[in-house]
């Protein structure tokens, strides 16, 4: 079976005892990079078979990986705990309660949450962690499945500087950039900014490609040309040509984007921001879902224009 992570070099830091909760599309390769970097990693996943498969795939890592039956068991003795689950409720389910991570973590241990969640839950869990003598960093990521596999994610963090400093060298096993942006919740707010930008850029790119195709231009050639000018963007260079070809299997699903944009619009109502384009693109993603494109990636916006 081929590895779910692509080879990369790892900075040499002292091996740590770590836990990783949540082995989805992103968490599975992220945890793999930690194991390959030499850390002793214990994983937990709601579907135990996935955790077992992960341990088998990374059995040749420098420190033998393990899996645990509950979050509380997984985090025992770990100085750093990483998490990447689906939403606010999933995050609460793995952190709180008698079998949750917070109950099993040692005093002073750091919980690093890579879930894309609300700023509200980040602040809530930061306060709960502090009350229990723990540290919490909200640290959502950008870069998609390919970024996780390649170890090239961008990590946006909120929390206390000491907790961030403790996590930073370990996080760099799967990141190309990791930045503290402010107090608890700041990472989640920065991820919302990121998703607003992506939504607008992809809608513009979809309209541009549809227009060019209707004008009978060679859009592969056009994209080559405009990628060298002011229209250049990551989305154009990485998704433009596949949009022309009608390929939409690149990992970050429409369902997930709608979840993220729901968080954005909820926060906008709270802070008084007006986001007319974002709200419109969210509706367009709803159209894609009605077309059966729930698992297509976010560049599938162009399908509703064809």
Domain assignment present for residue 44? The answer is yes
Instruction: Report how far residue 246's alpha carbon sits from residue 297's, in angstroms, rounded to the nearest whole number.
Output: 11
Domain assignment present for residue 9? The answer is no
Instruction: Report how far residue 32's alpha carbon sits from residue 65's, in angstroms, rounded to the nearest whole number.
Output: 10
Instruction: Please determine, for residue 175, whether its predicted confidence score (pLDDT) is greater than 80.
Output: yes
The pLDDT of residue 180: 98
- Write the pLDDT tens digit of every residue in 44-89: 999 999 999 999 999 999 999 999 999 999 999 999 999 999 999 9
The pLDDT of residue 11: 81
The pLDDT of residue 167: 98
Confidence of residue 2 (pLDDT cuts 50, 70, 90): low
User: Which of 148, 299, 306 is closest to 236 using CA atoms?
Assistant: 299
Residues 172 and 152 in one domain: yes
Instruction: Please determine, for residue 284, whether its predicted confidence score (pLDDT) is greater than 70.
Output: yes
Domain assignment present for residue 101? The answer is yes
Domain assignment present for residue 173? The answer is yes
Give how many domains the chain has, as a whole number.
2
Can you give the CATH number for the domain in which 127 is found? 3.40.50.720
Confidence of residue 19 (pLDDT cuts 50, 70, 90): very high
Average pLDDT, the chain: 96
Instruction: Report how far residue 53's alpha carbon sits from residue 158's, in angstroms, rounded to the nearest whole number.
Output: 32
DSSP string, the chain: ---SS-----------EEEEE--STTHHHHHHHHHHTT-EEEEE-SSHHHHHHHHHHTTTSSS--EE-SSHHHHTTT-SEEEE--SSHHHHHHHHSSTTSHHHHSPTT-EEEE-S---HHHHHHHHHHHHHTT-EEEE--EESHHHHHHHT-EEEEEEE-HHHHHHHHHHHTTSEEEEEE-SSTTHHHHHHHHHHHHHHHHHHHHHHHHHHHHHTT--HHHHHHHHTTTTT--HHHHHHHHHHHHT---SS-BHHHHHHHHHHHHHHHHHHT---HHHHHHHHHHHHHHHTT-TTSBGGGGGGGG-
Of residues 50, 191, 228, 241, which has the active-site annotation?
A: 191
Residues 108 and 140 in one domain: yes
Q: What is the pTM of this model?
A: 0.94
Residues 72 and 153 in one domain: yes
Instruction: Please determine, for residue 17, whether its predicted confidence score (pLDDT) is greater than 60.
Output: yes
Q: Examine the residue annotation and report whether 191 is marked as an active-site residue of this protein.
A: yes
Instruction: Report how far residue 205's alpha carbon sits from residue 46's, in angstroms, rounded to the nearest whole number.
Output: 37
The pLDDT of residue 20: 98
Confidence of residue 12 (pLDDT cuts 50, 70, 90): confident
Domain edge (last residue) among 182, 215, 242? 182
Domain assignment present for residue 177? The answer is yes
Residues 172 and 130 in one domain: yes
Residues 33 and 152 in one domain: yes
User: Which of 16, 72, 25, 63 is closest to 44 using CA atoms?
Assistant: 72
Domain assignment present for residue 8? The answer is no
Token look-up 């990121």 returns: 194
- Write the pLDDT tens digit of every residue in 176-227: 999 999 999 999 999 999 999 999 999 999 999 999 999 999 999 999 999 9
Residues 196 and 167 in one domain: no
Residues 168 and 209 in one domain: no
Domain encompassing residue 159? 17-182
User: Which of 53, 50, 58 is closest to 18 using CA atoms?
Assistant: 58
Instruction: Please determine, for residue 1, whether its predicted confidence score (pLDDT) is greater than 60.
Output: no
Domain edge (last residue) among 182, 201, 236? 182
Can you give the CATH number for the domain in which 217 is found? 1.10.1040.10
Domain assignment present for residue 160? The answer is yes
Beta bridge partners of 190: none
Instruction: Please determine, for residue 9, whether its predicted confidence score (pLDDT) is greater than 90.
Output: no
Residues 247 and 228 in one domain: yes
Beta bridge partners of 255: none
Residues 288 and 177 in one domain: no
Instruction: Report how far residue 97's alpha carbon sits from residue 176's, in angstroms, rounded to the nearest whole number.
Output: 34
Domain edge (last residue) among 130, 160, 182? 182
Confidence of residue 8 (pLDDT cuts 50, 70, 90): confident
Residues 43 and 93 in one domain: yes
Residues 126 and 154 in one domain: yes
- Write the pLDDT tens digit of every residue in 132-154: 999 999 999 999 999 999 999 99
Q: Which two tokens stand for residue 178?
A: 């990791």
Residues 247 and 280 in one domain: yes
Domain assignment present for residue 5? The answer is no
């Amino acid at each position: 079976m081929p590895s779910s992570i692509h080879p990369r070099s790892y900075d040499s830091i002292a091996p740590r005892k770590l836990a990783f909760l949540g082995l989805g599309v992103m968490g599975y390769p992220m945890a793999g990079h930690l194991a390959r970097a030499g850390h002793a990693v214990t994983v937990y996943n709601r579907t135990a078979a996935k955790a077992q498969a992960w341990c088998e795939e990374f059995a040749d890592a420098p420190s033998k990986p393990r899996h645990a039956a509950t979050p509380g068991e997984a985090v025992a003795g770990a100085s750093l705990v990483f998490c990447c689950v689906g939403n606010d409720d999933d995050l609460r389910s793995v952190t709180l309660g008698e079998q949750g991570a917070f109950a099993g973590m040692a005093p002073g241990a750091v919980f690093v949450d890579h879930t894309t969640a609300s700023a509200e839950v980040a602040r809530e869990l930061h306060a709960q962690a502090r009350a229990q003598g723990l540290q919490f960093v909200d640290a959502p990521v950008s870069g998609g499945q390919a970024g996780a596999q390649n170890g090239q994610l961008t990590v946006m963090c909120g929390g206390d500087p000491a907790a961030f400093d403790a996590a930073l060298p370990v996080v760099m096993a799967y990141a190309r950039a990791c930045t503290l942006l402010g107090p608890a919740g700041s990472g989640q707010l920065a991820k919302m900014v990121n998703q607003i930008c992506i939504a607008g850029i992809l809608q513009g790119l979809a309209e541009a490609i549809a227009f060019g195709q209707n004008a009978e231009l060679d859009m592969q050639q056009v994209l080559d040309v405009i990628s060298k000018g002011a229209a250049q963007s990551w989305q154009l260079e990485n998704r433009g040509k596949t949009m022309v070809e009608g390929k939409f299997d690149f990992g970050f699903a429409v369902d997930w984007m709608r979840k993220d944009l729901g968080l954005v619009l909820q926060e906008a109502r709270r802070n008084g921001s007006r986001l007319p384009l974002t709200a419109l693109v969210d509706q367009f993603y709803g159209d894609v879902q009605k077309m059966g494109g729930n698992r297509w990636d976010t560049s599938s916006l162009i399908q509703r224009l064809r």
